[in-house]
Each structure stands twice: as C-alpha cells, then as structure tokens.
Structure 1
Amino acid sequence: MDELIVKDCNGNILKDGDSVSVIKSLKVKGGGTTIKQGTTVKKIRLTDDPAEVDCKIDGMSIVLRTEFLRKK
C-alpha cells in the first residue's frame, strides 16, 4: 500500500500535525477575509489530495494548497 506523500513549496515532506507558514497573501473564497503572508498555521491535517491540506485559521476550517505553504 502506497503512502501519500505531501510536499510544501520547497519540496519538504509534510505530515499531520506539522506547522507551516503561508508564503503569499490569499483571499478566502466565501469568507470575505484574507490570510496574510507569513501567517503560521499549526496542526495541519493531510487530505486525500496531495496538493491540499486542511487546517484551522481564526476558528475557520480551511483547505489550503501546498504550493502556498512552507514547513517551519
């Protein structure tokens, strides 16, 4: 059984519970807010898609693309 490998923008392997930072300001669809560059996101959760991770920012559950994340 193959294990899902998820990588950040620099090619570092991400795992459940890792902390990452956002490398670009992102507008949240439907939320009307913006996630600022440099925001630290703790305790990410991997999804079935290797290009996306699930996380909570300011109490909102959000799915972020790994191309905009850097492992801390």
Structure 2
Amino acid sequence: MEVRDSNGTVLNEGDNVTLVKDLKVKGTSETLKRGTMIKGIHLTDNEDEVECRHAKIKGLVLRTEFLKKA
C-alpha cells in the first residue's frame, strides 16, 4: 500500500508533513493553521489517513489530502 500526500509524493513511517489548509479539530476548540509542521507520522491501515501527535492533541488522525511532505 502506498500512502501519498496532496502533491502525490509517497509518505513513509516517521516522515514530517505540513498542513496545506486550516483544520478545525473535532472535540476541541483548537484549529490547526495552514503551514503547521507535524513530525513523525504513523501510517494506518487506511491509505487516506495518518496518525500523528500535536503539542496539545494526542491521537490525532489526519487525511492525506490536507498534507504535504516537508
């Protein structure tokens, strides 16, 4: 299974990615801004989603269509 970002670049376990769009996080009042660096992603069984951590949010799942490889 190949996981690709919004530009078509292949993503691997532990890569750093950048957000390409402001995202509201469900269950919190926080919004992740465009350009935010997410370090050390974890690939899931679904090729359209990756797991990651942010400073205040643990267990965050992001769709690959909103990411680009850093």
Q: Shorter-chain TM-score: what band? A: over 0.9
For structure 2, the 5+ residue unaligned runs are none
Residue 36 (structure 2) aligns with: 39
Aligned positions, number: 69
For the pair shown, the structure with the greater C-alpha radius of gyration is: 1
Residue among 64, 67, 70 paired with 2:65: 67
Structure-2 separation of matches of 1:53 and 1:70 = 12
Structure-1 separation of matches of 2:56 and 2:31 = 14
| Cα distance, 1:59 vs structure 2 | 3.8
4+ runs deviating over 3 angstroms? none
The structure with the greater share of residues assigned to strand is 1
Residue 18 (structure 2) aligns with: 21
TM-score, L = length of structure 1 = 0.92
- Aligned CA RMSD, in angstroms, stands at 0.7
Does 2:10 match 1:30? no
For structure 1, the 5+ residue unaligned runs are none
| Cα distance, 1:32 vs structure 2 | 1.6
Amino-acid identity (%): 49
Structure-2 separation of matches of 1:55 and 1:31 = 16
Secondary structure (helix, strand or coil) at the match of 1:57 reads coil
TM-score, L = length of structure 2 = 0.95
